[in-house]
Every structure is written in structure tokens, then in C-alpha cells.
Structure 1
Amino acid sequence: MAGGSQSFQKSKVDGYGFERPEDFDFKSYEEFMASYLSVLARRAQRWKKTVGDQTTDISKSRKIKRFCRKGIPSGIRADVWMVVSGAEQRRMADPELYQRLVDNQLDDTHPVKCAINLDIHRTFPENIHFADTVDANGLRKPLCRVLSAVAKNNTQVGYCQGLNFIVGLLLLIVRDEDKVFWLMDTLINNILPGYYFPDMKALQAEQELVGDVVKWKLPEVAAHMEALGVQWCLVGMKWFICLFADVMPVETVLRIWDCLFFEGTKILHRVALTLVIANKEKILATKTFPEAVDLFRMIVSTPHTQDCHTFMKNIFELTGSFPRSKLDQMREECRKKVK
């Protein structure tokens, strides 16, 4: 795992290039890593025994789904994401597309390109690969190229704030612009259709759905939020728009994405519900609107979310049955409300 080795434990920068805060709890991190490293080693052996070096031959199955839920080894993560998401199949159908889009980029005066350029400097400024002082080998130019290509290939979407954080983290992990482009294009078109349209109605519907899922699973929390006048879009929109990339610990985000690329949007709702379940008593103890909103801002970066392995076990165990048919039916009702 990047960021997990002993050499990084006292470093001011983690293995992904993110600067650690002054109050970073090295003791808790080391305690977590002591157990998690052995988990990673076991998972890597299981993956190797199952798929060997032929990641392109992986077929979606119950076994691979189970493996993705338990974590994809960092060495094959990018390739597995490409296969299980369908991005590799789409890329093979038009392997030169990304290069064509780069060769015919949006003009710098185009409104979409202007919006992208504004956000390039706001993308992970605390990461050494995106910092103002970084040299020509940094990731700002690749970030700009991929975002521009995605916008040019998806004119209905163009550019939406939040995409920069998803592409930025993909670049840190995948390290291949072409693959990052196809993963993003697949997310936008196949996995999260309509999420990033300018009217954001699909994303608003997903926030309505978060509220309905909480009402289904934790009615007392839903009633409390309603009594305080807190709308779910106020607390969950950022979670969903950047797929947790800018709000949760990186290792946890990657484990979420291991499942998202295989299983789709249901994973985002499992994560949101788990955050609510884990903080149920604190939520019920809030007495004002600002207090509740502040709490939701904090619950994504607690020690509970730092322990990614336990957190990912919880999103499947604590949330209980999550039938896709029921979720789809609820989503359709939410879309009608938003329209």
C-alpha cells in the first residue's frame, strides 16, 4: 500500500503526497497500520492466486465482487478498475479517442476551459504533486488535459466542480492519463448517468434518496433532521459530487471506489448510511440547524473512517439488506419529486 510502509509513518507527507496536518495522530495511525498491513498482504496473495497477472481476463463474478469489497491490491488496482467498470472494453472500441481529444483541446477562451483552469489551482493544494511550487513533472497539466478531454467528449456535462478532485485522485493512483480519461468517461456515462449535468437534478434526486434511505433504516434520525430543518442535500451533496474524494481519508476513498467501479451508485448510499448509523447518537443530540450541519462536516474524517478495513466491513454489515430493485424504485420516486 502506498503510504503504509514504515518510512512514511513519521513523514509530514503521506505516500500519496498529501501533507499531514500538524495534529496528525501518528500513534493511532501506526496502531491501525500494524494490523492493516497484514490484511493487505493476505488480500494480495488471494488476488494473485485467483487472477495471477492476467487482470485483463477478469470477468465480473460473485467471487470478484467479494474480492473488490475486501480491497484490491494497489499494484493491480488501476487495471481491475478498468475491467470491472467496463472502461477497458470501451477504450478498446476506440483506443485513439483520448489522444484525438487532447490534440483538439478546447480553446483557452472557451467558458468550460476557463472554469477548468480556475479549479486546477484549487485541486489538492495540500498535495506535493499539485502544489504551486511543483515542477514540470507535476500533475496539474495532466489534470487539465483529462478534464478538458472529458468535457469535450461529454458536451452535455462540460465541466462540474468536483470532477477535478475525482480526476486528481485517479491521476495519483492510476498514473496513466488515457486510463483516467476512460474511467471518468465511464463514470459519467455508465455508472453515474446524469450526475454531472448542469441542472444537477440527478444529483439532487440522489440526495432525496439519501434522506429516504435514512427514513427507511433510521426513522428517528430522519424525523430529527426534519425537525431541525436540515435538508440532506446540505450535508450529502459534497460527498456524492466528489465521490468522497475531498472529504474522507484517501485509503478509505480507494476502498469505496474498489466497490463503486464494480457495483455502482448503491455503494455511495451504503457509505452515507453507515456514516449516519455510526454517528446516530451524536446526530440525535444536536439541537440546532448549524450544530447538525457542522457535525455532518466532521463525521467523514473521524478515526472511524480512518480504519478503512473496518469501515468497509461496516458498510455491508451495518446497513443490512439493500435490494437494488427497492433502491431503484425509491430513486424513481425521488426523481419525480425533483422534476
Structure 2
Amino acid sequence: MGNSCKCISKLDSRSQNKKLKFNQPLPEKKDKNKAIRWERIMKAYSDYENPIEAFKKEDNDKFCSYLSEGPPAHLRWLAWKAAFSAHGHVKIDETEREDTYSIEKDLSRTFPNQSFFANPLGQTYLKTVLVSMVNNHPELGYCQGMNSLAGILLIVSKGNVTESYEILEKICWGMGGKGLFEYGFPLVVDLCQEFHRALSEKIPTIHKFFQELELDDNLWITKWFMTLFSYSFHLDCVVRIWDAIFAYGLGFMVNIALGLVSYLKHDLLGKSLGDMLEFLPELKEMYVDIDMVLFHSSKFQLRKFEINVESEAGPETLKDEMDSEEPIHTRWDATNYSHQHSRSMMEEFSLSSPSNISKFSL
């Protein structure tokens, strides 16, 4: 299935040179035009059991556009479910058939500052989702990073275990996201490769700066891609990023990474490696104008990014169809710089767990 959603409506953006501020709460989005637009959709399709899904089936392009621009918070979960045609018809199997130590140790480390996971019940829900994933897909197993994806889904769904599990499953199989967690992390490698290629072409000053800095991909970009940015940014930013990913596909993460680097350009340039190692973890607490980032992300014209999708169960926007000439083949072929860092990533992963359990330490 292809994606025909190709643009994000122009948003009122501020100067990209604005410095980030610590501890500044993200402004609550009250875009009345968006709210009115979604209210009209709900009213126009009110005769249907699921108005948003009916809207998507009738006009998928418009649905993608609306989703990428961000639905109101109270409709976000309904919009995400519609994107995946998720109806809760999945098997939850929380039987502890094997050692769950890797899952157990990640429960308390998953968004500990979020009130949802401060409650032991939230961690119980998270464990149920992750154990079910292992039981239903033992060939994939558990990989650290899955907990972040499941955590966001549980927060947005307000603790709906069945629906959260279904969407996690469809991210992995319907969108091809299992390549983020399979042995060898093929999708992570391919995304990093394409990011560095695109960075050298679109923002060469930053590309050169990173080369000179010798910043290991394991310290930032692999985490961005493997967790769909959920580990490294504020929750309010993450849900907006996921709106765009679910509209455009996992390949759009390269665009988003370019948009973020472009936004952060003046905060990055000139930093020493030590300064950078302090700066990157602080992104989670910084104010980022994510609407502006997503707007600029949509402007990067990149080659088509082909992702192996084994199931028809995912959203109709499974693949990123940015204007391009030829697809990227999922095999390693990068500069020595990218090869060096991705190889170290692969060695780290394989050494950390040959059993395919908890393969990546965030």
C-alpha cells in the first residue's frame, strides 16, 4: 500500500534561531481551526459507529493531512486507531512462560516521571503488553525500546491494554517496525544510513560538524529511530511526532530527524563532545516548537524509503512516498564514517544479548 499524503499545511512558525529554554512547559495547543475541523468530521459522520474511521475510508488523503497536523488530544487515540484500522481483535497472552527479567527491569524505568506509570497498575499494564508480545511473537522476542513504544500507547489510550498491544503489533508488522528490533537491527541501520546521506546533502555544515566531533550514533540517532523519538523528547512532542509518522510511515522519521537537527542547528554547532553528551539528554526537558519542526520536515525531498512490510494489517500509509527517483535497498552501503558507527552499534548489540532478549541498552 502506498501513501498519497505529501504535504503538511503551513503553520505559523517562529525563527529557527530561537534558543531552547529549560523547564518551560510546552504550550497547550488550542488551535480552534483544527478543533472545529475535527468537530465537523465527527458531526458529518455521526451516523457511523466510528466516525473517524469512516472519514478515513472515504478520504484517506484528507485524513492523513488532518492526522499529520495533529488531532485534538481527546480524539488522538481514536485517530490513531483509525490509522491502523485497530478494533481490539487481538490475543492477549500474559502467561510468563520464560524468564521475564529483561522486561521486569525496564518497567520502573519506563517514563518514571509520568503519573500513569507512578501507579503500579500502569506498570502491570505495561508488563502485560510486553509479555504478550513475546508470547505471540517468540521469533522476535523482547528488545529494550519496545517498552517506550508500549508506554506511549498506554498513556495516550489511558490504559487500554488490548488496543495498545494491537497498535504495537501493527507498528511492528503492519508498518515494518519489527526491523527496529530484529537481530542486526536492519531498519535502524538503514534509517541511520539514509539520515547521514541526507544530512550531508541537505545540511552539510551539521554533517561535517558531526564527522569532526566523532559523535557515536549509539548516543543519539539510534535511540531516536528505535523508540520513534519517545525516549529523547518531551511527551507533548512525541505524540505530535507520532501523528506524522502514522500519517507518512516510518521512513518519515528521517525527515523528522533532519527537521530536528535543523531546528537545533545553532544549539549544536560549536559544542565539544563533552558538551554534546550533556546536551542530548537535556532535550527531553527542553521546549521544542514541534509544529514548526514537522512543517520543515515535510519540505525535505528525499529518496523513497522502502520498508519490508509483511502484513496488510497496518495503515494505508505504510510507506513513505516522498518525491523520489529510486528506492533505497535495505543493504549496507555507506561512507566509512557511517559504517564505523553502525558497525560498533551492531557489535554492541550482538555482544549484549545473543539470545535476542534486551538487545539494546538505552
For the aligned pair, the TM-score class normalised by the smaller chain equals: 0.7 to 0.9
In the TM superposition, what are the counterparts of 1:107-146 in structure 2 within 5 Å? Answer: 107=97, 110-111=98-99, 113-131=100-118, 134=119, 138-146=121-129
| Alignment partner of 1:77 is 2:62 | no
8 Å CA contact retained: 2:96, 2:131: yes
C-alpha displacement of 1:51: 4.5
- Distance in 1 separating the partners of 2:277 and 2:194: 18
- The answer to whether the 8 Å contact 1:195/1:203 transfers is yes
| Map of 1:320 onto structure 2 | 300
Query: 1:334, 1:49 → 2: CA distance?
Result: 49
Aligned counterpart, 1:165 = 148
- 5+ residue gaps, structure 1: 1-22
What whole-Å deviation, never above 9, does each CA across 1:225-283 have from its counterpart, x for those lacking one?
11222233432111122212232121221111112123211231122111111122333
| 1:292 is aligned to 2:272 | no
Change (3 A) 1:335 1:55: farther
Q: Secondary structure at the match of 2:115?
A: coil
Matched, 1:194 2:185: no
Give the conservation status (yes or no) of the 8 Å contact 1:55–1:80.
yes
Q: Does 1:106 align with 2:126?
A: no
1:150/1:169 CA distance change after superposition, 3 Å: same
**Distance verdict in 2 for CA 1:87–1:262, change over 3 Å:** farther
Q: Is 1:332 equivalent to 2:324 in the alignment?
A: no
Aligned residues of 1:166 and 1:245 also touching (Cα < 8 A): yes
What SS does the aligned partner of 2:180 have? coil
Percent sequence identity over matched residues? 19
Aligned partner of residue 126 in structure 1, secondary structure: coil
Q: Is the 8 A contact 1:162 1:242 kept in 2?
A: yes
TM-score, scaled to structure 1: 0.75
Superposed displacement of residue 145, structure 1: 0.7
* 1:36 partner letter: K
> Residue 203 of structure 1 aligns to which amino acid in structure 2?
V
Give, as a single letter, the amino acid of the residue that structure 1 aligns with 2:216.
Q
What SS class does the counterpart of residue 109 from structure 2 fall into? coil
Tell me the residue number matched to 1:11.
Answer: none
CA distance in 1, matches of 2:300, 2:44: 28
Q: Structure 1's 221 and 309: CA in aligned 2 closer, same or farther, altered over 3 A?
A: closer
1:1-339 pair list within 5 angstroms: 24-25=23-24, 29=26, 32-33=27-28, 36-38=30-32, 40-48=34-42, 51-52=45-46, 54-57=51-54, 58-59=56-57, 61-88=60-87, 95=89, 97-99=90-92, 101-102=93-94, 105-107=95-97, 110-111=98-99, 113-131=100-118, 134=119, 138-174=121-157, 175-191=159-175, 192-286=177-271, 288-299=272-283, 301-303=285-287, 305=288, 307-316=289-298, 319-324=299-304, 326=324, 329-330=327-328, 332=330, 334=332
Q: Structure 1's 262 and 37: CA in aligned 2 closer, same or farther, altered over 3 A?
A: closer
> Which structure carries more relative contact order (alpha carbon 8 Å, separation 6+)?
2
CA separation of 1:299/1:141 partners in 2, compared to 1, >3 Å: closer, same or farther? closer
Contiguous gaps of at least 5 residues in structure 2: 1-21, 306-323, 344-362
What residue is the counterpart of 2:312 in the other structure?
A: none
CA distance in 2, matches of 1:43, 1:269: 29
User: More helix per residue: 1 or 2?
Assistant: 1
Distance, in Å, in 1 between the alignment partners of 2:325 and 2:110 is: 33
Aligned length: 291
* CA RMSD, 1 decimal: 2.8
User: Normalised by the size of structure 2, how large is the TM-score?
Assistant: 0.71
Alignment-mate amino acid for residue 78 of structure 1: W
Match of 2:358 in 1: none
Q: 1:290 to 1:156 in 2, by over 3 A?
A: farther
Question: Partner letter of residue 227 of structure 2?
Answer: C
CA spacing shift, 1:46–1:266, aligned 2, 3 Å: farther
Partners of 1:301 and 1:327 in 2: CA distance? 39
Distance in 2, matches of 1:323 and 1:195, equals 20
Partner-residue secondary structure (3-state), 1:129? helix
Give the distance between the partners of 1:159 and 1:185, measured in 2 at CA. 12
